[in-house]
Structure 1
Amino acid sequence: MATTLRKVYLPTVVAGRPNSNGNWELIMTDAAIGIAVFLDDRTSFDRAVATWRGRLPAYIYLKSDGALPKPPPGGKYDTEAEIIQYWHGQTTFADGLAQETCRDFGHTGWGLAAAAHVAETARIQGLDLYAEGADRLRHAMGLHAGLQLGEAVPSWLCGGKVTLGLGPTFEVGFNALHNRMGIGMTRTQRLVEQTRPAGVSHFLGWETLTHAGNPN
């Protein structure tokens, strides 16, 4: 297994995918950091962390970023027109908006879940990425949770219409930010509790069982 992971899977996932929608690269980074830990490969671990640090601000916008979202490092999107196209035509940006919000909430949920997974794996290894990404993650989860719960879609957001379908993707991030760090997340908590218990889907597995109310 170790040989297959090192020679077949790791070279692909650790390379990233800066020109694809952000959930791709975040899920790849989730896989890469997990494989790196299994293989005790510090170089690949550090590379995955570097990818996460570059991709998270290119996936979740904060007003402090400026007028436009940050482009994915190593990617081809760098002009205003290209970034707007990459963000699926969105021209107004607010705290917590994600690169795939105007695509659909299913892919956005996967991206946010993968971002939290990377931070969770790093935390277990003694590196606190949550401290770096808490503001982006909490705003993103809150924004999307509120809309998933039925809040009105503002006219400036995705032409006033979004495609819902987050699924149970916030257990890991919610547990870390709310239960461990004490951040108030009312809308996210409502959504997480409504979608419990989380089962198995794609790269997600039994996260209510593993993370609900887990202080460790």
Structure 2
Amino acid sequence: DHPGSGMHTHVSLFQGEKNAFYDAKAEYNLSKVGRSFIAGLLRHAPEITAVTNQWVNSYKRLHGGGEAPALVNWGHNNRGALVRVPMYKPNNENSTRVEFRSPDSACNPYLAYAVMIAAGLKGVEEGYELADSSDATVLPSNLNEAIIAMEKSALVRETLGEHVFEYVLRNKRAEWNDYSRQVTAYELDRYLPIL
């Protein structure tokens, strides 16, 4: 009866021995690099969702309530946010990190980590500004919406490479088409008696 397990992913970046996400004087001790990394994750979240949530059933967890994120937002110690900034532990700068909470535990971790890191690094490289989390949009609500977002993504295409990008799209389109043709028990129980 539960919608599935998440693969909440904690990320931090280091420059040598120094945690690049840590700034003692910043809000939540989160540096400009950390804020731009979050902004990259948020900006590119819809287009990487077909990789981080690759199954039809993945979206029942994301949009089924509970603590799984459905909105593209961030928050400090907020377990409902897509990106959570965990509480800073005093005198432990190396623990400064962000948590990306949407990935499905059944995703391909190699591809998922590749697109998550690419999205965050794009934010750092381009100097994305982290917006107020109240400006949230919604993650794709099903695999088809995620496929459509991924198809338009230069970031995902570049990160996965042309061959893998096209393979994933072709595979996921076929899966969605197979799923869409299914007549479910709900449809039979609900509509057969009255039609």
User: Which is bigger in relative contact order (C-alpha 8 A, separation at least 6)?
Assistant: 2
Query: Highest Rg: 1 or 2?
Result: 2
TM-score (ref. length: structure 2):
0.27
Query: Which structure shows the higher strand fraction?
Result: 2
Structure with more helix by fraction? 1
